[in-house]
Amino acid sequence: MENLIALLIAAPLLGAAVLLVGGRRLDAVGHWIGTLLSTASFVIGAVLFVGLLGRSADDRTLIQHLYTWIPVESFQADVTFRLDQLSMTFVLLITGVGSLIHLYSVGYMEHDERRRRFFGYLNLFLAAMLLLVLADNYLLLYVGWEGVGLASYLLIGFWQHKPSAATAAKKAFLVNRVGDMGLSIAIMLMFTTFGSFAFGPVFGHVGGTSEGRLTAIGLMLLLAACGKSAQVPLQSWLGDAMEGPTPVSALIHAATMVTAGVYLIVRSSAIFNAAPDAQLVVTVVGGVTLLFGAIVGCAKDDIKKALAGSTMSQIGYMVLAAGLGPIGYVFAIMHLVTHGFFKAGLFLGAGSVMHGMNDEVDMRRYGGLRKYMPITFITFGLGYLAIIGFPGLSGFFSKDKIIEAAFAKGGTEGWILGGAALVGAALTAFYMTRVMLMTFFGEERWRTGSGAAADGHDGHGEPHPHESPGIMTIPMMVLAVGSVFAGFFFNLGDRFLHWLEPVTGHSEGHSPVSALTVTGATMVCLVVGVAVAWAQYGRKPVPAAAPRGSLLTRAARRDLLQDDFNHVVLVRGGEHLTRSLVYVDHTLVDGVVNGTAASFGGLSGRLRRLQNGFARSYAVSMFGGAALLVAATLLMRAV
Amino acid sequence: MSFPLLTATAALPAVGAVATAAVPAARRTAAKWLALLVSLGTLALAAVVLVRFDPGGARYQLTESHAWIAAFGVRYELGVDGIAVALVALTALLIPFIVLAGWHDADPLETGSRRWRPTQGFFALILAVEAMVIVSFEATDVFLFYIFFEAMLIPMYFLIGGFGDRAHEHGEEAASTQRSYAAVKFLLYNLVGGLIMLAAVIGLYVVAGNFSLTEIVQARANGTLHMATSTERWLFLGFFFAFAVKAPLWPLHTWLPNAMGEATAPVAVLITAVVDKVGTFAMLRFCLQLFPDASKWATPVILVLALISIVYGALLAVGQRDIKRLVAYASISHFGFIVLGIFAMTSQGQSGATLYMVNHGISTAALMLVAGFLISRRGSRLIADYGGVQKVAPVLAGTFLIGGLATLSLPGLAPFVSEFLVLVGTFTRYPAAGVVATLGIVLAALYTLVLYQRTMTGPVRPEVSAMPDLRARELLVVAPLVVLLIFLGVYPKPVTDIVNPAVRQTMSDTHQTDPKPEVEAAK
Amino acid sequence: MNPVNYLYLAALLFTIGATGVLIRRNAIVVFMCIELMLNACNLAFVVFSRMHGNLDGQIIAFFTMVVAAAEVVVGLAIIVSLFRSRHSASVDDASLMKL
């Protein structure tokens, strides 16, 4: 059965190769090849899953060794895959949601002349992401890690003719590279500490090393996670990444790739468990990001950017949970999976709305769309209920567990983290209700005025909202079903917990407040958030032009000024630095050498003047020289 | 006596150079085909060397030794270890691509002239450089090495000064002035380096009494040859200076951007991917083996210079407005990595550095040759003159991107393997240096992606709207390089298997051992 | 007569010749002054030969004469062709070889 693991990756990789090298001949069938191979990967994943279920809980780790990759003395990197419960969960999520989104894209990208290439990139992404979660050592994981970065780069910048898309793609890659630096330093630290960077030996030797080392490794891994998962302070790329086609946002920037940071932390649980300081930093990053993302999400008028803020915030929850240690790992992954369903569903819904609205993204020009797109409305609505944590739906179970675990951390930290998580829940309810109301309820703002709506991105004039074709709505329906039932299903008899426990470990925390109290408080937050949003956007009409807003709103619209900070400090500063270095290189470094050459030139120029061409002056110098020689000889003799 | 295989690998291109130069003026195309055939033949010979080389066997293999200048103990001694084999193979591999990429670079502007034969000269010079570089890699006699190390400057000088891009933003006359400036600068820098090395070579002879690398190393190891500490250091510095100019290392780098900027793209590849490798290779072979103690003594300074090269080269690449100069500064950054790996004095560092030389050769060739195809279409080297190329020439843009991704060491492509080995090798001994060098990977992403974004994406500029995509000949150049980049990224073991034993030897010659991991050390 | 007096004469002739070479511009005069210097040397050689009682000096004097004769041939030819091309025998006019 182990031999199937490589096939998981090989199928989409083959698809990417065929589609990207195949050329225009494959334009007609390219999208179906891509979808077929991604589905094939899902089927293989399902087969493996059934196989794993058939084994006992302790015997669910499969190792496939393919070949030795980089052997240099003690540095031994192998291409080895590990399939255990954790990676299995990811494999199913990635290939499952991935296949649905492939299907959706067949409809969404129908009119794009480069659709074949789009599917090639999507398949490339799947292969890289699967490599990431299946790798048995950190270096191979790194390959997948950067591979998904590349796929994300290519897909964000898919519409390269738009400068904004190209810039966003570059930014995403660069910010991720900063994070990758963390991962590569972590690997080097592991190698110097353990002499290996394969999961087994590293986790096995954690006990034999100093806590300081482990903290350093943990922090470097966190840096990597921050980059990939858009956590503060490396979150700035995610909002811009929405320049990519919407299926990409759904698959990569909501459901799968951005959660890789959470995977990394949970996978490295052995290291983090032994480094409490690093764990504390993880929870702080998670807590800050969940508020940061939520605040940003509240202020955005661009539907995709509002959802991006939400993604950031939800991943903040996961990171927070992962930082809590064994009491949180399982819930982090559970929230990750349920989030994968509902956020992918929400994004596909947003894509469906845009599809029917001439690619308009400004929610202030939506309104009343529920009549025109009933299926989108219902599936989006279910996703909405799931994300705000409506009782009984997926988000309710998973988020509630995280908030409980945060309180269970104990001490002041527990109260602060729990409080932050509760505030986040209220904000989530607020901004998602806002999105819902502005898009599907209220008056039809896209009709009003001739000028306001006419300058849509494609310039088609007034949009004619319509429901999307079946090939797009079916994936949305499937995901909606997942959003509704996944949480309940996972929690039935703590199924999910028992499934993951052998890999991540689990311990019950001792919460200072009872589970019921936490649930009650969460419900109160939810109601408050929804009520405030309704008061603001449901009761009175939404203005077509954004009001000036409070200082916080204005800051949140600009991603809490973090981009401006980056721009001023890093971009401007960097430009000045490189420009002055170019100058220095030209004048100083080159100048020293050129100066030496010039001074030799000057000296010889002066000497040259002695050669004036007059025979008699040469004769004088000859006589002078002879006289000198004679004098010197005489002098020597005298002495 | 067996067939002198190593001599043959150098003699074939040398004879080919003469033959190509002798082709009559009217038969330009024949000269091109002859050069291509000779370079392919050399590649075949190099492949034979590769096959005949036994990684587990003696240190230097396929050796040849003949008396040459008996009065000074100079011998014609050739022999290859794993490092040399890899680099000979790289050289032989790249030359056919360079020839093919420069197919039309030296066509005479007006036909009909009977006496002027630029095409023949261009290809003959390339083959001459190949022959000299190969001898440099194979020589185990210091004097023999020195002669060819210096002699290759002459054909390189003519290649840089005599052949440039057709179109130039400031007109043909300005181009010609800048070209000769670049060529003279290249020559002067390297001559000064070579002159200092000559002094050191003579000094070595005075101390050791012969020029044989193997004999001197052996004599030093068994104690029959004693060298005073200060003597060893001066000699080391003399050798190192010449190699640092050639490599090039900050602050001796300024000739490279000029030379690569003014030369045609294939010649630029010849400079950075082939000729400059002799510098870093010689550090590994001569500096470390002849002067192990002095190498250790100089390590801190050299590491700092290498780190400066990495960061400085990358930052300057970010600030460039000229595509070829950008690639040149990127190369300076990469040479910093190679030097870092060599002087980190760990197996990973040195294997990584050797691998880096090979991979950097391939990746720069891919990037630079595609850049050359791009430049030849538009007639400008300025980044600002491009935009939206991927819309009109997707294959060109795609290969350019792959070359760029290789330059930024994307995992899965060959340069990643070597760069990571260098980083790890450095980190195990000098953690701070490893971390600083890691900055280079962020900056590499910056300059590569900015270059790609500005030239290939965005709205299509009117000047590029009619740009044709890659032609069959150009695709033939790029495709194998791309395949190699991917193959060596996924499966570098064939190369590491050859290189590792040689590095192990070098490590033991320099009395170095890898640091033990903390967990093992604690036991 | 004391042979040293001949040496004084030789020195005097040499000085006259040298001064002439340095201060005169006419190529013919310069040429004659050079001959004067050569002959001063010859005189000195012969005197030394006499003083030391061997023939070396006299042999060298013959050599010098042969060389001087050859030099006259070449030198006069140069001067004549210079005069033909620039209608002047001034040495200062022939300064084109400088950089």
Three-state secondary structure readout of A166-234: HHHHHHHHHHHHHHHHHHHHHHHHHHHHHCCCEHHHHHHCHHHCCHHHHHHHHHHHHHHHHHHCCCCCC
Residue of B245, B424, B475, B512 to mutate for A, most A C-beta atoms under 10 A: B424
Report CB contact under 8 Å: A209, B518: yes
- The count of C-alpha atoms lying within 13 angstroms of the C-alpha of A513, restricted to the half-sphere facing its C-beta, is 18
Closest CB from B411, B458, B522 relative to A146? B411
Query: C18 and chain A: CB distance < 8 Å anywhere?
Result: yes
CA–CA dist B188, A51 (Å, integer): 70
Q: Do C97 and A623 touch (CB under 8 A)?
A: no
Say how far apart CA A416 and CA A427 lie, in whole Å: 16
Q: Using the beta-carbon criterion (under 8 Å), do A185 and B434 form an inter-chain contact? A: yes
Residue A449 has pLDDT above 90, yes or no: no
**Which tokens in the block code for residue B280?**
């870093």
A620 and C96 within 8 Å at the Cβ level: the answer is: no
Say yes or no for a CB contact (<8 Å) between A615 and C98: no
Query: Could you give the angle at which helices A85-108 and A470-491 cross, rounded to 10 degrees?
Result: 160
Task: Please report the residues numbered 563 through 622 in chain A whose beta carbons come closer than 8 angstroms to any beta carbon of chain C.
Answer: 608, 611-616, 619-620
Nearest Cα residue in chain B from A191: B517
In this structure, is residue B15 part of a structural domain? no
At residue A514, does pLDDT exceed 90?
no
Helix axes A470-491, A329-356, angle to 10 degrees: 160
Ranking A312-326, A356-370, B168-182, B453-467 by mean pLDDT, the lowest is: B168-182
Which residues does chain B have within 8 Å of residue A157's beta carbon, measured at their own beta carbons? 457
Give contacts of C94 with chain A, Cβ < 8 Å: 615
Query: Residue B363 belongs to what domain range?
Result: 291-513
B439 contacts A75? CB cut-off 8 A: no
Residue with tokens 């698959």, as numbered in its chain: A251
Domain segments of chain C as ranges: 4-86
Residue B160 placed within a domain: no
Asked if chain A contacts chain C via 3 or more Cβ pairs within 8 Å, the reply is yes
Query: Is B423 touching A (CB cutoff 8 A)?
Result: yes
| CA angle, residues A175, A180, A181, in degrees to nearest 5 | 100
Whether B390 contacts B123, CB under 8 Å: no
Residue A34, token pair as written in the block: 């891509």
Q: Strand A62-72 and strand A75-83: pairing? A: antiparallel
Could you tell me if residue B186 is inside a domain? no
Q: State the pLDDT confidence band at A350, using cuts at 50, 70 and 90.
A: very high
Contact criterion met (CB < 8 Å) for C96 and A619: no
pLDDT band at A453 (very low <50, low <70, confident <90, very high): very low
Chain B nearest CA to A344, separation (Å): 28
Beta carbons of A166 and B458 less than 8 Å apart: yes
Peptide bond into A233 cis (omega under 30): yes
Name which of C18, C91, C99 is nearest A615 (Cβ-Cβ).
C91
CB-nearest partner of A578 from B315, B441, B496: B315
Which run of H or E residues covers position A82? strand A75-83
Separation of alpha carbons B340 and A315, rounded Å: 39
Instruction: Give the whole-angstrom CA distance, residue B461 versus residue B385.
Output: 8
Which of A143, A181, A579 lies closest to B441 in CB terms? A181
- Is C25 within 8 Å of A614 when comparing Cβ atoms? no
Between the alpha carbon of residue A371 and those of residues A71, A439, A441, the distances in Å are: 63, 11, 9
User: Considering only alpha carbons, which residue of chain C is nearest residue A607?
Assistant: C99
Which residues in chain C have their CB less than 8 angstroms from residue A614's CB?
91-92, 95
- pLDDT at residue A40 is higher than 50: yes
Domain count, chain B: 1
At A452 the pLDDT is 45
Q: Do B491 and A69 touch (CB under 8 A)?
A: yes
- Chain B interface test: which of A26, A68, A69, A70 (most B C-beta within 10 Å): A70
Instruction: Give the mean pLDDT of A536-540.
Output: 82
In a domain, B148, yes or no: no
* Residue A43: band (very low, low, confident or very high) from pLDDT cuts 50, 70, 90: very high
Residues of A in contact with C25 (CB under 8 A): 616
Contact call for A68 and B493, based on CB within 8 A? yes
Geometric angle at alpha carbon B424, from B418 and B427, rounded to 5°: 140
- Closest to B517 (Cβ–Cβ): which among A153, A177, A193? A193
**pLDDT band with cut points at 50, 70 and 90 for residue A366:** confident
User: Is the Cβ of A634 closer than 8 Å to some Cβ of chain C?
Assistant: no
Residue contact A616–C97, C-beta within 8 A: no
Asked if residue B352 is part of any domain, the answer here is: yes
* Chain C residues within an 8 Å CB radius of A620: 22
Query: Using the beta-carbon criterion (under 8 Å), do A160 and B320 form an inter-chain contact?
Result: no
User: What confidence score (pLDDT) does residue A141 get?
Assistant: 94
- The pLDDT, as a whole number, for residue C99 is 45
Instruction: Give contacts of C 27-46 with A, CB under 8 A.
Output: 30
- Which pairing describes strands B74-80 and A62-72: parallel, antiparallel, or unpaired? unpaired
Supply the mean pLDDT for chain A. Answer: 87
Quote the DSSP letter at residue B515. Answer: P
The reported pLDDT for the residue numbered B353 is 94
Q: Give A13's contacts in chain B (Cβ within 8 Å).
A: none
> Which pLDDT does position A556 carry in this prediction?
75
- Confidence class of residue A459 from pLDDT cuts 50, 70 and 90? very low
B303 domain-assigned: yes
Q: Which of A71, A194, A578 sits opposite B517 (nearest CB)?
A: A194
Task: Look up the pTM and report it.
Answer: 0.87
Contact list in C for residue A608 (CB cut-off 8 A) is 99
Residue A168's closest chain B neighbor by CA?
A: B453
What is d(CA B135, CA A485) in angstroms, rounded to the nearest whole number?
72
B504 inside 8 A of chain A by CB: yes
State the residue for tokens 């040496």: C7
For the segment(s) C4-86, the CATH number from 3.60.10.10, 1.10.287.3510, 3.40.630.10, 3.30.70.380 is 1.10.287.3510
Interface touch B517/A192, C-beta < 8 Å: yes
> Which pLDDT tens digits describe chain B residue by residue (523 residues)?
578 889 999 999 999 999 998 888 788 888 899 999 999 999 999 999 999 998 888 888 888 888 888 888 888 999 999 999 999 999 999 999 999 998 888 777 655 455 556 888 899 999 999 999 999 999 999 999 999 999 999 999 999 988 877 655 566 677 788 888 889 889 989 999 999 999 999 999 988 888 888 888 888 888 888 888 899 999 999 999 999 999 889 888 889 998 998 889 999 999 999 999 999 999 999 999 899 889 999 999 999 999 999 999 999 998 888 999 999 999 999 999 999 999 999 999 999 999 999 999 999 999 999 999 998 888 888 888 888 888 888 899 999 999 999 999 999 999 999 999 999 999 999 999 999 999 988 899 999 999 999 999 888 888 888 888 888 899 999 999 999 999 999 999 999 999 999 998 888 888 888 888 877 766 5
H-helix or E-strand containing B79?
Answer: strand B74-80
SS3 of residue B165 by DSSP: coil
Q: Fill in the amino acid letter for B21.
A: A
Choose from B449, B452, B514 for mutation: most chain A CBs within 10 A.
Answer: B449
State yes or no: chains A and B have 3 or more CB pairs below 8 A.
yes
Q: How far is B287 from chain A (nearest CA, A)?
A: 22
What confidence category does residue C96 fall into, taking pLDDT thresholds of 50, 70 and 90?
A: low
> Longest Cα pair distance anywhere in chain C, in angstroms?
53
Minimum-distance CB partner of B412 among A68, A147, A209: A147
Which residue in C22, C25, C96 is closest to A613 by CB distance?
Answer: C96
**Nearest-10 crossing angle of helices B347-378, B323-343:** 170
| A613, A619, A623: residue with CB nearest C98 | A613
Identity of the residue in B312, B424, B522 whose CB atom sits nearest the CB atom of A208: B522
Question: Cβ B458–A597 below 8 Å, yes or no?
Answer: no
Count of residues in chain A = 639
Helix (H) or strand (E) holding B13: helix B5-21
Helix or strand holding residue B69 (H, E): strand B61-69
C chain contacts of residue A619, beta-carbon cutoff 8 Å = 21-22
Task: Report CB contact under 8 Å: A71, B315.
Answer: no
CB distance B347–A69 less than 8 Å? no
Query: Touching A: which chains, 3+ CB pairs < 8 A?
Result: B, C
pLDDT score at B70 = 82
Instruction: Give the model's pLDDT for residue A569.
Output: 76
Q: Stretch A97-113: mean pLDDT, rounded?
A: 90
B64 belongs to a structural domain = no
- Is B357 within a domain? yes
Which residue from B188, B449, B519 is facing A209, i.e. has the nearest CB? Answer: B519
